[in-house]
Structure 1
Amino acid sequence: MDVDCIPFKETGYFSKLICDYLDRHEDLKPFFNRYPTLKNFAEQIQEKKANFPHGYRAVLVNALNKQYEGVAISEGTANHIAKLADDTTFTVVTGHQLNLFTGPLYFLYKIVSTINLARKLKEHYPKYHFVPMYWMATEDHDFDEINYFKLRGKKIQWNKKANGAVGRLSTEGLDQVFDTFAGEIGQFGKAETLKKLFQQAYLEHDTLTKATRFLANALFGEQGLVIVDGDDVQLKKLLVPYVKKDIFEQVPFAKVSESIAGLAKISSDYIIQVNPREINYFYLKDNVRERIVERNGKYHVINTYIDFSPEALKEELENHPERFSPNVVARPLYQEVILPNLCYIGGGGELAYWLELKSYFDALGVTYPMLMLRNSALVITEKQFQKVEKLGLKVSHLFLKQHSLINKRIRDISNIDIDFSPQKKLLEEQFKHLYELAEQTDKSFLGAVKAQEVKQKKGLDALEKRLLKAQKRKLKDHVVRLTELQNELFPNKSLQERQWNFSELYLEMGDNFISLLLETLDPFSEEFIVLKH
């Protein structure tokens, strides 16, 4: 297997905010704690150790043991759970929704990045223990985001009416999805292994939480992955003081709003991922997960008839903390309150909203974790790579937007020069003299000179586009082969990892695919990886 790398910011698929973060932009330093280098983990360990109550460890271990009841786990996972009781053990975490059959391919890249980070930290800091952890987003209620996966360009979907937290959903009806999936993958390759995996996960477990735990454990249990479900009464009890700060004092709303304003001052190109609410918790019960809002001195659960006085809500929180579910702003804090965590590994969008949260963590006295961009990869076959070479391209060129790629290639192979930049430059020089002449004679002519310059430049642009269009027709066969190849590797004009499901590659490679990822994905690389097989 050959491996090539492309710097993230050269791919065109990462925001300015994330590229600036990777460049350690000076203005962004107030928005994160430490940049995730091997050296910086030493200070992060000491800070978290000093700021994480020892008693929380026993609560965490008890909760995990209860969550894993009835699950066959590896020796590595069992050992990791036990070690979490020790003050020398820390976690590195990634989180993800409960997407059907893992959803997009990058789910695997997230978890492998996390496993490999834990391994590298153990090599560098041998006296400590590091546990790779996957946080299941069991309390999300966006069913439409997780009820499908794509295979060979087809959308395989679970058609079901759903309300409330997705983790609590019954798996009833997934037998129909299994039949569709089984029919699509047929009998070749590793099809039977995948069918068995889907069947065991979804048809032999009664909730989506249990199914997802089984699936992630089956894929990564041998690497010692620990899977945690935040929808847990023991763990929620630890969160109670912070929920009060949110609901009754609105600390997150004030602090995150300040951070958003601060990021906007740095660059108008920074995209704000999430906005805080005055109250960042849902009320979670049965098939209900609805926002809590304050109205006229009372607390109302929207889309219901449930109301609480301040005293009644505090009593409900103390007696039933499991009924309070954090939103996207509060969930990261919950994670860092209950885990001895050092680092969060996520995609660009996730890190963008984490960068809004540091002042909120500081205000509540919770150690802010290091933030690491997950690995990204493009898997390309040897045959596809040969096509790239025959077209006279590099794989990095395929990351260009399709019209830019075509235009670039047409210019490269055309036997005439379709770049009018020299003519435009000459035109600018000529008009420079006209501007000087107008200045010396009558300044009122400056506008007319400018208008003429714009008109002539537009004319050159129009000629350039017409010539390019003519060359595209002339070189149509080349354009077709180029676009077909790019469409194969970037389905729906998007990254492969966002469109494919892992089963597409597993059918060809089996367990070797996961082994390959474990061998090649380096969480410290800061580059987009191209895997040729």
Structure 2
Amino acid sequence: MKGITEALRSGSQLAEDYICTADAARSLYEYDICWENGLHARAEWLKQSEHTRVDRHELASYLRIYNKRVNNHDHVHASITRLVEENAWVVTGGQQSGLLTGPLFVIYKAASVVAAAREAEKQLKHPVVPVFWIAGEDHDWDEVNHTYLPDPQGDMRKVKLQGHFTGRDSVSHVQVKWEQWEHTLEQVEHLLPDTIHKPGLLKQITEIHRASSNLSDAFARIISVLFASSGLILMDAADPELRKLEQPVFSRMIQQNTSLRTAYLQGASLVEQAGYAMPAEVAEDGANLFYIHEGVRLLLTLKDKLYQDRKGLVSFTEERLLEELKQHPERFSNNVLTRPLMQDSLLPVTAVILGQGEIAYWGLTREAFRTFGLQMPILLPRLSFTILEDVHRKHMKQYGLSFQDVQYLLQEKKEKWLAQQETFQVDEQFTLIREQFMTLYRPLLEQVAELHPGLSRIGEANMGKIHEQIQYLERHTRKAIEDKHAVDLRHWNGIQNALFPMGKPQERVHNALFYLNRYGTDWIEKLIKASAEFRGQHQVIEL
């Protein structure tokens, strides 16, 4: 599968500069984006630092149990067996669980992990296995309880999980009943067009959701269906059994909290000195750890030797917090700054796949890695794609549109095209009639005002009503022209909704089910096989 490279707008200058190897950004990271240059050095460091990570056999034992439940495939268990081998390494990446996997970029991130692991193994000539972690510890329910699919007219429709969750518990701990799944799947069935793939796809996702009591499990099972044959290992960051393995790491984070906080503040200072906006909050009193209290995930601070949340619901001395960790490790979780340290304390990571926002906030963490006795891994931008279907490619050619036209100039181009279709020039004609009306009417107003002052007010009101009527006619004239060209305008809107729905890149809105329903699953493996470079380039591909 070959794509055409096209620039895609980004919201992070720091990430863009890292990808373009600008010196200011490069100084904040351990390795260069030309990752092949750093692979052997990273592998050598991993050999020397085996003692800094969780025991491989204990990790593999946990992974077997979790994957047997949600990702039970021979290729996956083979990957776990390889991970136990001496000098076996990992390429990893992750994402919070989302309804029906959420936007397309989640699929691209998982594909990136697999593709990079294969390429790293080829370069290093040692086992490198792909691991995808699910950020089930995140608690922003409103961010993950919906997704988008196009309706038969091509307009985007929100598919939402029924029910309102008002708490702040981890997404993995929010129970979802079958009736809620069923309502969601009914929406999906209604929106997906009939294809040869639809019956099997609906059957598969129905079985998955019948077996899942929370969003993270359903997410994991769909990812499993799409990637199990590649040997992709899954792990849920909110799993209580994983927390038991992580307990010693959390203990170190608590005992070294002051020095870690100093390291994060130093990282923030370096980012500011390099001229970049702050990618994540680094609080002066931040402990950078969450504690779950009565179903509420609380961010802890450290002040006057007490670990507290900002609302004052909990308060611990260090000794008491360590005791709480020993008894209830499942109540602890990382924030965005300590999560990278936890990841590298669990897994022998050669490289990590990140989105641009993640690359930016990782720029805050290098000093914390060093303080914790670790080294920042190689950072690779995830693969990025826009799927261009044949119908939209033909319409873009018909109207003379490039990808960049669609990204930045579509409305302007559409209005210009529409104006060219008519000899009747709406703007010119209605501007002229307004000018002529005012030329004739204004002298009349002046004359009647001399007869009686009250006539001036009546005349002004009358003039306003006439302007309203002219505007009314102008609107209906424009609509008549649009109706005349309705088919063509549907083509324009179809291009917009397919490539930049809701004004955003396709990969950040569209759900994979639409393309799985239309093209099956083979295109995902083709993406993986065609991807060996990770330079942050965006590809426009045709299926």
**Counterpart residue identity of residue 298, structure 1:** L
Deviation at 1:175, TM superposition (A): 2.4
- Structure 2 residue 63 is matched with structure 1 residue 64: yes
8 A contact 2:15–2:359 mirrored in 1 = yes
* Mapped partners of 2:383, 2:141: distance in 1: 26
Distance 1:41 1:408 in 2: 51
The one-letter code of the counterpart of 1:240 is F
Which AA in structure 2 matches 1:101?
L
Who is 1:381 aligned against? 389
Q: How far does residue 285 in structure 1 lie from its aligned partner after superposition?
A: 5.2
Partner of residue 493, structure 1: 503
Question: 8 Å contact 1:505–1:513 — kept in the other structure?
Answer: no
Q: Matched residues in 2 for 1:174 and 1:160: separation?
A: 14
| Partner in structure 2 of residue 439 of structure 1 | none
* SS of residue paired to 2:3: strand
* Distance in 1 separating the partners of 2:219 and 2:493: 37
What secondary structure is seen at the aligned counterpart in 2 of 1:188? coil
2:54/2:345 contact within 8 Å kept = no
Q: Report Cα offsets for 1:180-239 as digits up to 9, x if no partner.
A: 222332653322222223222222122333322222111111100000123323322231
Contact 1:236 1:322 in 2 (8 A): no
1:113 aligns with 2:112: yes
Deviations 1:2-52 (A, max 9, x none): 52112xxx3333532222111211122331111242232111111122113
What is the Cα deviation at residue 483 of structure 1?
6.0
Question: In the alignment, which of 506, 509, 513 is matched to residue 519 of structure 2?
Answer: 509
Query: What is the letter of the counterpart of residue 203 of structure 2?
Result: K
Gaps of 5+ in 1: 414-471
The answer for the alignment partner of 1:161 in structure 2 is 165
- In 1, the alpha carbon distance for the partners of 2:264 and 2:55 equals 26
CA distance in 1, matches of 2:15, 2:314: 41
Q: Which amino acid aligns with 1:50?
A: Q
The 2-side partners of 1:12 and 1:84 are apart by: 37
Residue 427 of structure 2 corresponds to which residue in structure 1? none
Separation in structure 2 between the aligned mates of residue 321 and residue 335 of structure 1, nearest angstrom: 16
**Match for 2:173: what amino acid?**
R
1:216-266 Cα distance to aligned partner (Å, 9 max, x none): 11111110000012332332223134321454x2x3332222222222222
Alpha-carbon distance in 2 for matches of 1:299, 1:501 = 41
Give the alignment's TM-score, normalised by structure 1.
0.80
Counterpart in the other structure of 2:268: 260
- Displacement of 1:304 in angstroms is 6.9
Q: Which residue of the other structure, out of 525, 528, 533, is the alignment partner of 2:538?
A: 528
Aligned-pair CA distance for 1:315: 1.6
Distance 1:70 1:219 in 2: 16
- Are the equivalent residues in 2 in contact too, given 1:162–1:169 (CA < 8 A)? no
**Could you say which structure has the larger radius of gyration?**
2
Please give the alpha-carbon distance, in whole angstroms, between the structure 1 residues aligned to 2:199 and 2:311: 45
Q: Distance in 2 between matches of 1:26 and 1:338?
A: 31
1:244 to 240, 249, 254: 254
2:218 is paired with a residue whose SS is helix
**Bigger Cα displacement from structure 2, 231-240 vs 345-354:** 231-240
Question: In the alignment, residue 214 of structure 2 is paired with which amino acid?
Answer: T
Per the alignment, in what secondary structure is the counterpart of residue 332 of structure 1?
helix
Using the TM superposition, name which of 55-64 and 301-310 deviates more: 301-310
The alpha-carbon distance between structure 1 residues 23 and 130, as it changes in their structure 2 partners (threshold 3 A), is same
* SS of alignment partner, residue 11 of structure 1: coil
- How big is each residue's C-alpha offset from its partner over 1:368-392, in whole Å with a ceiling of 9 and x where there is no partner? 1111111111111122212222323
Change in Cα spacing, 1:233 to 1:201, as seen in structure 2 (3 Å) is same
Instruction: State how far apart, in whole Å, the 2-side matches of 1:80 and 1:284 are.
Output: 33
The alignment's TM-score, normalised by the length of structure 2, stands at 0.79
Tell me the residue number matched to 1:47.
45
Q: CA deviation at 1:290?
A: 1.4
Q: Write the deviation string for residues 131-155 of structure 1: whole angstroms up to 9, x where unpaired.
A: 1111110111111111111111111
C-alpha spacing 1:83/1:162, structure 2 compared with 1 (3 Å):
farther
Q: How does 1:66-215 map to 2 (within 5 A)?
A: 66-71=65-70, 73-126=72-125, 128-152=126-150, 153-158=156-161, 159-163=163-167, 164-172=169-177, 173-185=180-192, 187-215=194-222
SS at 2:528 equivalent: helix
> Residue in 1 aligned with 2:339?
331
1:102 Cα deviation (Å)? 0.3
Q: Which amino acid aligns with 1:209?
A: S
Partner amino acid for 2:129? Answer: V
Q: Is the 8 A contact 2:93 2:109 kept in 1?
A: yes
Change (3 A) 1:487 1:208: closer
**Could you tell which deviates more after superposition, 103-112 or 207-216?**
207-216
Match of 1:22 among 9, 19, 29: 19
CA contact (8 A) 1:31 1:359 kept: no
Among all aligned residue pairs of Structure 1 and Structure 2, give the percentage whose two residues are the same amino acid: 22
Q: CA deviation digits over 1:99-134, x for unaligned, max 9?
A: 0110001111001111011111222222x1111111
Structure 2 unaligned spans of 5+ = 151-155, 422-477
- Displacement of 1:298 after TM fit? 3.5
What's the offset of the Cα at 1:282? 1.2
Count of residue pairs the alignment pairs up: 469
Q: After superposition, where does 1:204-353 map in structure 2 within 5 Å? A: 204-231=211-238, 232-245=242-255, 247=257, 249=258, 251-268=259-276, 270=277, 272-276=279-283, 278-284=286-292, 287-294=295-302, 297-301=305-309, 305-353=313-361
Change (3 A) 1:193 1:308: same
1:278 to partner: Cα distance: 1.6
Instruction: Give SS of 1:40's match.
Output: helix
Note the C-alpha offset of 1:518. 2.3
Task: State whether residues 91 and 349 of structure 2, in contact with CA within 8 Å, keep that contact through their aligned partners in structure 1.
Answer: yes
Decide which moves more: 207-216 or 93-102: 207-216
Distance 1:55 1:168, change over 3 A: closer
Alignment-derived partner of residue 363 in structure 2: 355
Amino acid in the other structure paired with 1:45: A
Q: CA RMSD in A?
A: 3.0
Alpha carbons 1:63, 1:234 under 8 Å: kept: no
Deviates more, 1:69-78 or 1:155-164: 69-78
Q: C-alpha distance in 1, partners of 2:11/2:196?
A: 35
Query: CA, structure 1 residues 340+412, in 2 after alignment: closer, same or farther (shift >3 Å)?
Result: farther
